[in-house]
Structure 1
């Protein structure tokens, strides 16, 4: 019967959900030390960039292959973005408690810089999954690619925020697949960007 065929869209969707659940669990697990969250994110993208083109191999093995290879640059970039987020977040909180013109200007500047950091991070970790380079070079490439592809990268950031927001505020089971499913949705965006610059798989 066609319903029980592995090519049936229903079973393919269920199979993909299982993959996204496994990827999400791996991301949560490997992000527990916090400093390794960047390497874990690049590993998720390493798998989903291939999945989006039907080139995936053994999921768990591919994830840990990328995680090990990108552990050092992923940690350095992740810690850098985390530090910037904490500093800018604290600055925003402090500015909100002030009423001067200077505080207002600093608040606006911090919000803009925080938004830029979020956009650059959104681009950097998929890029890390595709490129073998130093953290500094990857950061510069991430900034350049973001500025040249601002709307697609902004769309990817919105997808990430939307999945986690729905999971946190609306329906918590979404969090069980959010990292993997969001990365898979964004993989189509990033593959299109990478193709333009000769960074495709």
Structure 2
């Protein structure tokens, strides 16, 4: 009984090893996202590492992350700037509308928020599948839109996971203190792992497949 606890394939050791990998992935993503403008390459690399963890083909979290972040760095920086601009525009619009009064302001707020969610859904597969893609930046966006239309609930799930820490900090008292710490230590890695787990299953992606292999 005691000897089985030290076996590498022991379920407890497997689970703890996976948690450790996701914790390291969260730290790597957080450190590389500190400049803000590099959040695109960092997120793409984190999703690639998470996919390799799902496929059980990873060769070490930090080594794989560093290799992945250098791949398609320029394209992912372009995506990063695009997402930052879209987020800034959406945030300013919502802030401005929230300062207005009347029923029409509530309607405009809801419409604007809904439009932002739809845009986010259409772009939700860009960074997760960018790591192995050979498509241009525009083709990558078109692919994401197509996949989102194929699997709208999956796209909405991706958006919900990405938005979860912001929603918690906005609505839960005191969450602004512990949510960033939790996401830096473990939450980011778990989110990337969840996104890549159901993406690979939904589109039946096999190890070393590229998005173009299965239109995903």
**Structure 2-normalised TM-score?**
0.81
CA shift at 1:24, angstroms?
Answer: 0.8
Q: 1:122-171: per-residue Cα shift (whole Å, max 9, x none)?
A: 32111212312221211111111112110112223333444676698295
Mapped to 2, the partners of 1:164 and 1:9 lie a distance apart of 33
| Contact kept in structure 2, 1:47 and 1:62, CA below 8 Å | yes
Please say if 1:15 is aligned against 2:17: yes
Relative to 1, partners in 2 of residues 1:166 and 1:10: Cα closer, same or farther, differing over 3 Å? Answer: farther
Deviation larger for 74-83 or 171-180: 171-180
TM-score, normalising length from structure 1? 0.87
Instruction: Choose which of 47, 52, 56 in structure 1 pairs with 2:58.
Output: 56
Pick the structure with more helix per residue: 1
Structure 1 pair 159/100, CA: closer, same or farther in 2 (3 Å)? closer
Residue 209 of structure 2 corresponds to which residue in structure 1?
A: none
Provide the alpha-carbon RMSD of the alignment.
2.6
Could you say if the C-alpha distance between residues 163 and 93 of structure 1 is closer, same or farther in structure 2, counting changes exceeding 3 Å? closer
1:105 to partner: Cα distance = 5.0
* C-alpha distance in 2 between matches for 1:58 and 1:179: 17
Gaps of 5+ in 2: 206-211
Matching of residue 189 in structure 1 with residue 191 in structure 2: no
- Structure 1: runs of 5+ lacking an equivalent: none
Q: Which residue number corresponds to residue 158 of structure 1? A: 160
